[in-house]
């Protein structure tokens, strides 16, 4: 393993919240177990129906998790940004993946093999507890999003997804849309035409400024208010 792989693995483990709270000794031990792989845009880490036996972590790049129907439709479940993990279902359940993991920007992915990861989980209650917290948070997001798709108007759903992308890099007020406007429209359950019209409305309200796939967020609090996410 060359130097670049070592450095990748180190940054990879430390950036994943699931490993927060572990001691330096434990982190170093985990870093020694991590492998790092480059993927080109368009490649798949795994496809729906395939097995895999690792926990994968995005170190650099951008990945989307999708499901496809028999007639070729695609449903984007989520985008994965640096620090996000995936593959836990096939890993923990020892079953086939139920999603495709497709690289949408050249990525470096770290992986910890089942034979190393399961003993870690069994011997480290902080890690098991962190993982449980993270899964409970993911279930929360999945259920919240399903409810939003069902109950909220398009402009609220659009505000929610923009805020979600923004949450991945809160220091940057510019959001790069990780997919085409047609794909984003499908994700929020609307048409590309309605999405364009809503983006124009948001611009007229001075909430955002749009330049192709870059959305500059001008009024974060107003956007949060519109999405209903600042009610607490």
Q: What whole-number distance in Å separates Cα of residue 109 and Cα of residue 16?
A: 12
Q: What whole-number distance in Å separates Cα of residue 45 and Cα of residue 56?
A: 9
Shortest distance, position 146 Cβ to its own copies, whole Å: 5
Check binding of 147 to its own copies (CB under 8 A). yes
Check binding of 212 to its own copies (CB under 8 A). no
Cβ neighbours for 67, distance < 8 A, ≥ 6 positions apart: 48, 74, 75, 77, 98, 99, 100
Shortest distance, position 141 Cβ to its own copies, whole Å: 9
Q: What whole-number distance in Å separates Cα of residue 78 and Cα of residue 184?
A: 11
Check binding of 145 to its own copies (CB under 8 A). yes
By rule CB under 8 A, what string of x and - marks binding of each residue 164-203 to its own copies? ----------------------x--x--------------
Tokens for 142, please give them.
């999945």
Binding residue (CB under 8 A) for its own copies from 6, 33, 77, 192: 77
Nearer to its own copies, 89 or 165 (CB): 89
Binding residue (CB under 8 A) for its own copies from 16, 99, 103, 223: 99
Nearer to its own copies, 1 or 129 (CB): 129
Nearer to its own copies, 8 or 79 (CB): 79
Check binding of 1 to its own copies (CB under 8 A). no
Residue in 66, 98, 106 with CA at minimum distance from that of residue 82:
106
Shortest distance, position 4 Cβ to its own copies, whole Å: 32
Q: What whole-number distance in Å separates Cα of residue 184 and Cα of residue 167?
A: 17
Shortest distance, position 227 Cβ to its own copies, whole Å: 12
Between residue 78 and residue 97, which ones bind its own copies under the rule CB under 8 A? 88-89, 92-93, 96
Check binding of 17 to its own copies (CB under 8 A). no
How far apart, in Å, are the Cα atoms of 141 and each of 58, 120, 169, 191?
19, 26, 18, 23
Nearer to its own copies, 170 or 232 (CB): 232
Check binding of 121 to its own copies (CB under 8 A). yes
Contact residues for its own copies, defined by CB under 8 A: 67-70, 73, 75, 77, 88-89, 92-93, 96, 98-99, 121-123, 125, 128-129, 131-133, 135-140, 142-147, 149-152, 186, 189, 228, 232
């Amino acid at each position: 393993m060359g130097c670049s792989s070592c450095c990748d693995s180190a940054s990879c483990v430390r950036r994943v919240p699931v490993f927060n709270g572990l001691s330096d000794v434990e982190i170093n031990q985990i870093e020694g177990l991590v492998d790092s792989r480059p993927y080109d845009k368009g490649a798949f880490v795994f496809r729906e129906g395939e097995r895999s036996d690792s926990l994968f972590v995005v170190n650099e790049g951008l990945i989307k998790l999708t499901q496809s129907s028999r007639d070729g439709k695609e449903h984007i479940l989520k985008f994965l940004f640096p620090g996000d993990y995936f593959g836990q279902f096939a890993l923990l359940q020892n079953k086939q993946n139920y999603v495709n993991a497709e690289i949408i920007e050249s990525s470096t992915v770290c992986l910890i093999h089942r034979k190393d990861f399961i003993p870690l989980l069994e011997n480290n209650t902080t890690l098991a507890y962190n993982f449980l917290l993270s899964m409970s948070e993911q279930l929360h997001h999945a259920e919240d999003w399903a409810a939003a798709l069902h109950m909220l108007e398009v402009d609220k759903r659009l505000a929610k997804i923009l805020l979600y992308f923004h949450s991945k890099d809160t220091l940057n007020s510019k959001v790069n849309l990780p997919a085409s406007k047609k794909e984003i429209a499908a994700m929020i359950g609307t048409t590309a035409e309605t999405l364009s019209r809503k983006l124009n409305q948001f611009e007229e309200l001075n909430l955002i400024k749009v330049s192709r796939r870059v959305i500059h967020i001008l009024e974060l609090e107003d956007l949060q208010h519109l999405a209903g996410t600042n009610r607490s």
